[in-house]
Structure 1
Amino acid sequence: MPVMPPVCNFGWPAPGFSLPGTDDRTYTYADIAGPKGTLVMFICNHCPYVLAVIDRIIRDARDLQRLGIGVAAISANDAESYPQDSFENMRKMAAEKAFPFPYLYDEGQGVARAYDAACTPDFFGFDASGGLQYRGRLDASRREAGPADLRRDLYEAMRQVAETGHGPREQIPSMGCSIKWKAA
């Protein structure tokens, strides 16, 4: 059943983190922050919503990086219940797809909880000072990629953040699979 995150809480401060990346480095929020803003994405390896648009995510990440937006992706799914989302499989996906951004592993799920991540994909777009300006969708794709000429909602919103420091007032939430939380 698809899950949709809540609407953007403008100005909400980005929670800090320190997470291992698939490139054997540890990253903090400060390490990935860009001079014009930062995009933190919660994705995973097995979600059909992510897999349908992963090439568009990569395209938009590259284009946003050229605008001065820092980008990172985090996987927080319970890899014991969902082995496709293991750190080793994350490494494989990052290499196969040549991710232009760090792919980080939130094994303890504390970062996903701090962000109140709801689904994969879930996009958090912050301004240069770390205030939330976008929590919307990539584009109008759902479980399957939509037409190639869809409006690039995430890219356009983050371009606006890079240029003005403010995200669009009207945002359409992302939709995807729920975060796979560990049993309590």
Structure 2
Amino acid sequence: MAAVTPPVCEFDLPAPDFALPGTDGKTYRLVDFAGPNGTLVMFICNHCPYVLAVLDKIIRDAHDLQALGIGVAAICSNDAKAYPADGFDKMVEMAREHALPFPYLHDAEQNVARAYGAACTPDFFGYNANLGLQYRGRLDASGMRTGADDLPRELFEAMKQVAETGRGPADQTPSIGCSIKWKAA
């Protein structure tokens, strides 16, 4: 499986709105989870080894970012027909099993992934309080294997900076992961 790297951050690019079903039975729009100090939208899935390697760190960072007034949500946009492990019922199981502290949303039509320009899982989009893009980097230096606990927390530190200043760091290392599993045309 070839790894995919998304493009660098386009500062101040506005966050596209959406309405997606969550694993908790609610439908979410961006405004429903946006935080007063910023918002993090993550594209993840259930089966990607890159996501699974850092899921505990994603959960840790989500808790810590929410304490800073940053809203967090995750979206699965993979083709569930071709990748049944990423189907909505499996998303519900994953959210429950890992007690995800954020809405886990299903983008069955893949329109939201396209609107954001999501390229891989995980792919992180960090926005300021005005919903202008400030971070499009990686969680940390982990790859397909869980990195050491003492790795610099790049996503957390970047979003903390966004919460405090409204601006993300100038230098960002892109995330790496499995490609979004697009439906056949």
Whether 1:132 aligns to 2:133 is yes
What's the C-alpha RMSD, in Å, of the aligned pairs?
A: 0.3
1:3-152 matched pairs, under 5 angstroms = 3-152=4-153
Give the letter aligned to residue 179 of structure 2.
S
Q: Distance in 2 between matches of 1:112 and 1:56?
A: 23
Q: Distance in 2 between matches of 1:18 and 1:31?
A: 10
Q: Distance in 2 between matches of 1:36 and 1:147?
A: 29
What is the CA-CA distance between 1:136 and the residue it aligns to?
A: 0.1
- Structure 1 runs (4+) greater than 3 angstroms displaced: none
Q: Distance in 2 between matches of 1:160 and 1:63?
A: 13
What is the CA-CA distance between 1:82 and the residue it aligns to?
A: 0.2
Q: Which residue of 2 aligns with 1:157?
A: 158
Q: Distance in 2 between matches of 1:157 and 1:183?
A: 35
Give the letter aligned to residue 151 of structure 1.
P
Q: Distance in 1 between matches of 2:33 and 2:18?
A: 11
Q: Which residue of 2 aligns with 1:168?
A: 169
Pairs aligned (count): 184
- TM-score, normalization by structure 1: 1.00
Identity of aligned residues (%): 70
Q: Distance in 2 between matches of 1:130 and 1:77?
A: 25
Q: Where do 5+ consecutive residues of structure 2 fail to align?
A: none
Q: Deviations over 1:109-163 (max 9, x none)?
A: 0000000000000000000000000000000000001111000000000000000
Helix, strand or coil: the match of 1:147? Answer: coil
Q: Distance in 1 between matches of 2:122 and 2:168?
A: 19
Q: Distance in 2 between matches of 1:13 and 1:29?
A: 12
- TM-score, normalization by structure 2: 0.99
Q: Distance in 2 between matches of 1:6 and 1:145?
A: 23
Q: Which residue of 2 aligns with 1:179?
A: 180
Q: Distance in 2 between matches of 1:17 and 1:152?
A: 29
Q: Distance in 2 between matches of 1:33 and 1:162?
A: 12
